[in-house]
Amino acid sequence: MGPLHDRAPCGPGGERFAVAIPSDVGRIEGVVEQVVARCVARDYPRQACALNVPVALTEALANAIVNGNGEDAAKRVEVRGCLDDRELVLEVHDEGAGFDLTASTNAPDDPDFVLREDGRGLFLMQALMDRVEQYAAPRAGNVVRLTLRRTA
Amino acid sequence: MSFSMHREGDITVVDVGGQLIVGNRQELKQKVLDELEKGDRRFLIDFAQTGYIDSSGLGVLVSLSKKIREQGGELRLANLNEDLKTLFELTKLDTLFQIADTRERALESF
């Protein structure tokens, strides 16, 4: 699996986009708004635009900023996307040394799942997306790829 | 995103406007903890104007629930839209919180 720019082009009429921000959690919402607007414009299902995409992308961006880049303001996070009539693919790139996406992850089967204050990030990404993958970026950094198939 | 707070009798009502996410969760937490410190014990968080909540926001709600209970108080929630209900069901947090369909019902339930 390679990074998005090495993959086959988006489907017919598909669009690529990219946006980069500094490692500041306060910048997450603006990126999410941009991506959601593209989904709305392409008439993706309401729940995908209001829940699945914003929550999963927020989780991936927060991971990249906090766990990937250690909130180092000198490091950036980039979202590369491909949106067509079949699916949305989002890749969140950080510049960190890599992190374990599954670390401190909590699962609904854990006895203390409900009472824990953290550990729901990966669970939510997996619950709200069709596919969540992580790999090392070709030169440096880490990538989390989210894929959501269009269902209606 | 914004949080506003007011009293209805002895209940502190918090309205969450916009998103409750990693970038602003501490603001909500501190506002509620400040009122808890002052002696408030009954809290209602109203999500009628809320867009989405991420895992950090959910974590703050769990944290506040624990801290309020430790002080003998109660935290209740109201006005979750369909997407937020789905989020609470996925994470099973609908079993942790008492959630009312409307603010009025939530206030009556204390």
Q: How far apart are CA A125 and CA A145, in angstroms?
A: 10
The rounded distance, in Å, linking the Cα atoms of A54 and A33 is 8
- What pTM was estimated for this model as a whole? 0.93
Contact between A11 and B12 (Cβ < 8 Å): no
Alpha helices (runs of H) in chain A, residue ranges in sequence order:
28-41, 46-47, 53-62, 121-128
Mean pLDDT, chain A, rounded, equals 88
Residue A46, CA distances (Å) to A40, A60, A147, B57 in order = 8, 21, 17, 22
Mean pLDDT by 10 residues, chain B (110 residues): 91 97 95 97 98 96 97 98 97 95 96
Tell me the C-alpha distance between A150 and B90, whole Å. Answer: 20
Residue B1 to chain A, least CA–CA distance (Å)? 10
**Does residue A3 have a pLDDT over 70?**
no
ipTM for this model = 0.94
Cβ–Cβ contact B6 with A under 8 A: no
Does residue A117 register a pLDDT over 80? yes
What is the average per-residue pLDDT within A104-133? 84
**Tokens standing for B65?**
């629930």
Measure in Å the smallest separation between the Cα of B23 and chain A Cα atoms. 5
Kindly report, residue by residue over A44-81, the tens digit of the pLDDT: 999 999 999 999 999 999 999 999 999 999 999 999 99
pLDDT of residue B39: 97
Tokens of B107: 């206030």
Name the band, by pLDDT with cuts 50, 70 and 90, for residue A8: very low
- Cβ–Cβ of B19/A29 closer than 8 Å? yes
Of B22, B62, B82, the CB nearest to A28: B22
Contact B90 A124 (CB under 8 A): yes
Number of Cβ pairs < 8 A linking chain A and chain B = 77
Q: Would you state the pLDDT for residue A52? A: 98
Alpha-carbon distance A95 to nearest alpha carbon in chain B (angstroms): 20
